[in-house]
Amino acid sequence: MANMRDVAKKVGVGIATVSRYINNDGYVSKEVGERIQEAMEELSYRPNSLARAIFTKKSKMIGLIIPNILNPFFPELSKGVERRARQEGYNIVLCNTMYDEENEKNILNMLLCNRVDGIIVVDTRCPEEYKKLEIPIVSLENQISEEIIYLTSDNFKGGTLAAELIIKQNLRKILHVKGPDSSPSAMERYRGFKSKLHESGFEFDVVELISSEDELVMEKDLSQYDVIFAWNDDIAIQLINKCYKRKLLIPEDIQVIGFDNIYYSEKISPALTTIKQPISKLGEVAVDLIIKQIDKENLIEKIYILDVQMIERESTKK
C-alpha cells in the first residue's frame, strides 16, 4: 500500500510539500500540486483521514445521529443533510440509535474518537452527554440546553392548521392520535390543535401512542368519527389502511389529516392531506448551523423555527 513517502519520491519533492498539498496548509505551486495529484492517483494513495484530522484539527466530517432509519421521515432529513454537507466539502457519518440510550452513548464516543467536526442529533436519549462536549452541536426534536443550538419546525402552528381545517368544515366527531409525551414535537402539535379547537368550542378524543415506531393498535371504533388528526404521516397512513380494512371510505365516511408531508403521503391512495414541514430544509439548515459554529461565527440566536403549511389532498373533503 502506497504512503506519502512514495508519492513524494515519485514527484521528486519532499514529504512536507506533499503534506502541505494534501492538508491545504501552506503554499504549493499549481504545477507541483497537479503532479502530486497525478502521482496519488497512479499509486492509488488515499490520505489517512484520522491522521489528517489530527494535523489540521479538521476532519471535514459531521456526525448525524438519528433514532430509526426505517421511519420515512429520517431518510428525507438525511438527504438534506448530506446534500448540503457535500456542497460545503464535508462528509456525513450516519448513525442509527434505535431509541437506545446506551447505543447512542457508544455512537457518540465513536464519533468523538474519529474527530468529527460537529454533530447533528435528532431526539437524543442522553442529553446530558452533549452538555459536556466542546464541539459544534445542533439538536432537532429536543432542546438540550440554552447554549446548544435547537432547530425545529413550527409544530404548534401545524396543530392549529389541522384544527382550522376541521373547524371550517364544522366536523364535531374528532379523534387525535397523539405522539408520546416524551416527544416535544408531538406535544407542541397537540397543544396547538387543542388550543385552536377549544377556542372555537370544539371537543375531541385522544389516543396516545407510546412510540411512533409501535404498531398502531386502537380499540376504538373509527366509524364513530368524522375526522382523525394523526401526529405524523406514518401513523396517518396506518390509519388509512385500518379504515380500508374496516370498509370505511376516505374521505366520504371519515377524513384523515397527517403531519410531515413525507414522500409517501402523496403516493398513497387516497393522497394524504397533511401539514408540510420542510424536512430536507431542516437538514440543510442544520448543516449550515454546524458550519457556522465550526467557523467560529457568534450565533446569538440559539433557537431556529422553520415554517409549516397545510397541504390539502384527497383524504379530506374540499
Confidence of residue 6 (pLDDT cuts 50, 70, 90): confident
- Identify the pLDDT of residue 48: 64
- Domain assignment present for 300: yes
- Residue 59: pLDDT over 80: no
Whether 43 and 113 share a structural domain: no
Residue 317 lies in a domain: no
Q: Is the pLDDT of residue 101 over 80?
A: yes
Over residues 186-201, the mean pLDDT reads 97
Average pLDDT over residues 276-284: 97
Residues 6+ apart with CB under 8 A from 207: 175, 176, 177, 178, 218, 220
Within a domain: residue 52? Answer: no
Q: Kindly state whether residues 162 and 271 are assigned to the same domain.
A: yes
From 63, 48, 51, 59, select the one nearest 133 (Cα to Cα): 63
Q: Which three cell numbers stand for residue 129?
A: 452527554
Among 154, 151, 159, CA closest to 189: 159
Residues 167 and 264 in one domain: yes
Q: What is the pLDDT at residue 27?
A: 85
pTM for the predicted model, two decimal places: 0.83
Whether 53 is in a domain gets the answer no
Lowest mean pLDDT among 49-58, 218-227, 276-285: 49-58
Q: Which of 17-31, 224-238, 261-275 has the lowest mean pLDDT?
A: 17-31
Residue 275 clears pLDDT 90, i.e. is over it: yes
Q: Count CB-CB contacts under 10 A for residue 32.
A: 17
On whether both 41 and 148 belong to a single domain, the answer is no
Q: What's the pLDDT at 102?
A: 97
Domain membership flag for residue 56: no
pLDDT at 215: 60
Which of the two residues, 24 and 150, has the higher pLDDT score? 150
Residue 43: which CATH number?
1.10.260.40
Answer yes or no: do 126 and 220 share one domain: no
More confident residue, 25 or 191: 191
Same domain? 128 vs 163: no
Rg of the chain over Cα atoms, rounded to whole angstroms, equals: 25
Same domain, residue pair 190 and 273: yes
Say if residue 304's pLDDT is above 80.
yes
The answer to whether residues 125 and 278 touch, using CB atoms and an 8 Å cutoff, is no
180 and 208 in contact (C-beta within 8 Å)?
A: yes
CA nearest to 160, candidates 210, 207, 206, 200: 200
**53 has pLDDT over 70:** no
Structural domain boundaries enclosing 35: 4-47
Same domain, 300 and 243: no
What proportion of the chain, given as a percentage, has pLDDT over 90? 71
**Count of structural domains, the chain:** 3
Contact 148, 137 (CB under 8 A): yes
Decide if 230 contacts 272 (C-beta within 8 A).
no
Closest CA to 288 of 147, 85, 64, 63: 85
| Res 217: pLDDT | 58
* Residue that has been written with the C-alpha cell 374521505 in this structure: 251
Q: CB neighbours (10 Å) of residue 115? A: 17
- The helix or strand, by DSSP H or E, that contains position 145, with its residue range, turns out to be none
- Greater pLDDT, 10 or 107: 107
Q: Which helix (DSSP H) or strand (DSSP E) does residue 256 occupy?
A: strand 255-260
- Look up residue 66 and give its three cell numbers: 438519528
Question: Which of 34-48, 114-128, 241-255 has the weakest average pLDDT?
Answer: 34-48
Residue partners of 280: CB distance under 8 A and separation at least 6: 76, 77, 79, 80, 83
For residues 57-80, give the mean pLDDT.
91
CATH code for position 235: 3.40.50.2300
Q: How confident is the model at residue 50 (pLDDT cuts 50, 70, 90)?
A: low
217 shares a domain with 247:
yes
Predicted local confidence at residue 315, as pLDDT: 98
Mean pLDDT of all residues belonging to the chain: 91
Q: Pick from 262, 294, 307: which is nearest to 138 by CA?
A: 294
Same domain, yes or no: 110 and 79 = yes
The answer on 261 and 163 residing in a single domain is yes
CA 237 to chain centre: 20
pLDDT at 61: 94
Q: Do the domain assignments include residue 80? A: yes
DSSP, residue by residue, 36-76: HHHHHHHTT----HHHHHHHHS---EEEEEES-TTSTHHHH
Residue 315 belongs to a domain: no
Residues 169 and 119 grouped into a single domain: no
Instruction: Name the band, by pLDDT with cuts 50, 70 and 90, for residue 221.
Output: confident
In a domain, 314, yes or no: no
Q: Which carries the bigger pLDDT value, residue 215 or residue 116?
A: 116
